Amino acid sequence: MNLFAPLAQRSLTLRNRLVIAPMCQYSAVDGMPDDWHMVHLGSRAVGGAAVVIAEATAVSAEGRISPGDVGLWNEQQLAAWQPITRFITAHGAVAGVQLAHAGRKASAMRPWDGGHPLPAGAGAWPTVAPSALPFDQHWPVPQALDEQAINGVVADFRAAAQRALDAGFQLVEIHAAHGYLLHQFLSPLSNRRTDRYGGSFENRTRLLREVIAAVRDVWPQALPLWLRISATDWVDGGWDIEQSVRLAHELKDLGVDLVDASSGGVVPHAKIPLAPGYQVPFAARIRREAHMATGAVGLITESTHAARIIEEGAADVVLIARESLRDPYFPRRAAQELGVAITAPLQYQRAW
């Protein structure tokens, strides 16, 4: 395999192995994507990526991380996404969207405003979680979801997936990482339930399995479904790589096509050994032991590093995040550095 080899995902063929990771822009009003999102996502399609995944997109208003999050919980948002997906697709990339619910980490300020919980007078809303445990000191105590509310969350993911399809997206990624709601159910650190959604591995993974089934029920069999997980909480007694591998073994039967392996986020003070490619071993182990396609992400900033990950079989795709904020055209730069010829838009061909 090499970084610029195509990759089949159900009926789609990705033009290379470079994917733009979902990155929150915190720039929406009432969940509506706007010109910023068109330029942000569209430029990365022009930049040569195989897939451009829109940021964590809330399946309900209460599921937003912040008031600036985009959503897919109503028809107006669906319509606002359509010109963006058309542009991405027209420039050779697959338009993807990450569907998310923030759970107890919802109702927060935007990062540049501090990232703290919203004050009561600034539009704060009640948060929910598997258990009534706050994310950190000075965070509100969330309401523990009862089974009726859990069923509502599943229905919200299902409805958002249908809207994603109608909006023109070709790939859905379910967000079960970074300490948001589905991850909160997976981790024993945040899930202290004693009913059928807590305790055992089977119970803690139940909501995620129900969400996957609901999304797959409306998402066409011809289109890929990805899942982002935090492969470890980086804390003893939390979710870990062994459980991630076990989960991945079950995912093919559920209709998942690729595991996007990130880490951390469910507790605020985990000691994470940040370094270039620090999460790649998780993608490699899941790929090797569960025979599941994987994506590697995390401080991958050099074309040679990305190429090596694919060549060594550690992952099937490499997701580029903050490096693509520094350089929207990273895939084109990588191709030049690696001596690979890729097609440029007609408007840009005189530069190649």
8 A C-beta contact, residue 273 and residue 299: no
How do the residues of the chain divide into helix, strand and coil, expressed in percent and rounded to 5? 40, 15, 45
In a domain, 209, yes or no: yes
Distances (CA, A) of 275 to 270, 315, 330: 15, 18, 20
Q: Is the pLDDT of residue 1 over 90?
A: no
Q: Is the pLDDT of residue 20 over 90?
A: yes
Give the whole-angstrom CA distance, residue 207 versus residue 198: 10
According to the model, what pLDDT value does residue 274 have? Answer: 92
Q: Is the pLDDT of residue 320 over 80?
A: yes
Phi/psi for 258 (5° steps) reads -160, 140
pLDDT digits (tens, 9 = 90+) for 131-168: 999 999 999 999 999 999 999 999 999 999 999 999 99
348 flagged as catalytic: no
Query: At 297, is the secondary structure helix, strand, or coil?
Result: strand
Residue with tokens 């709601």: 181
Average pLDDT over residues 309-329: 97
pLDDT digits (tens, 9 = 90+) for 48-83: 999 999 999 999 999 999 999 999 999 999 999 999
8 A C-beta contact, residue 107 and residue 129: no
8 A C-beta contact, residue 99 and residue 57: yes
Considering the chain, what percentage of its residues have pLDDT values greater than 90?
A: 95
8 A C-beta contact, residue 305 and residue 21: no
- The total number of structural domains in the chain stands at 1
> Sign of torsion, CA 5 229 277 322?
positive
Give the whole-angstrom CA distance, residue 144 versus residue 51: 36
Angle CA(10)–CA(13)–CA(17) in degrees, nearest 5?
A: 110
According to the model, what pLDDT value does residue 40 have? Answer: 98
Q: How confident is the model at residue 126 (pLDDT cuts 50, 70, 90)?
A: very high
Query: At 230, is the secondary structure helix, strand, or coil?
Result: strand
Phi/psi for 144 (5° steps) reads -70, 130
Q: Is the pLDDT of residue 329 over 80?
A: yes
Across the chain, what does the average pLDDT equal? 97
What is the H or E stretch that residue 89 is in?
A: helix 75-90
In a domain, 148, yes or no: yes
Q: What is the CATH number of the domain that holds 43?
A: 3.20.20.70
β strands within the chain, DSSP E: 7-9, 12-14, 18-20, 51-58, 94-100, 128-129, 143-144, 171-176, 225-230, 258-262, 294-297, 317-320
Residue 103 per-residue DSSP state: G
Considering the chain, what percentage of its residues have pLDDT values greater than 70?
A: 100
Q: Is the pLDDT of residue 344 over 90?
A: no
Query: At 162, is the secondary structure helix, strand, or coil?
Result: helix
Q: Is the pLDDT of residue 352 over 90?
A: no
In a domain, 2, yes or no: no
According to the model, what pLDDT value does residue 121 have? Answer: 85
Query: At 121, is the secondary structure helix, strand, or coil?
Result: helix
Write the single-letter amino acid at 147: E
8 A C-beta contact, residue 217 and residue 258: no
Q: How confident is the model at residue 348 (pLDDT cuts 50, 70, 90)?
A: confident
Tokens of 28: 């929406």
Query: Burial of 330 by CB count in 10 Å (0-12 exposed, 13-18 middle, 19+ buried)?
Result: buried
Residue 56 belongs to domain spanning: 7-351
Q: Is the pLDDT of residue 28 over 90?
A: yes
In a domain, 1, yes or no: no
In a domain, 147, yes or no: yes
Average pLDDT over residues 322-334: 96
pLDDT digits (tens, 9 = 90+) for 191-205: 999 999 999 999 999
pTM over 0.85: yes
Catalytic residue, from 26, 180, 197, 329: name it. Answer: 180
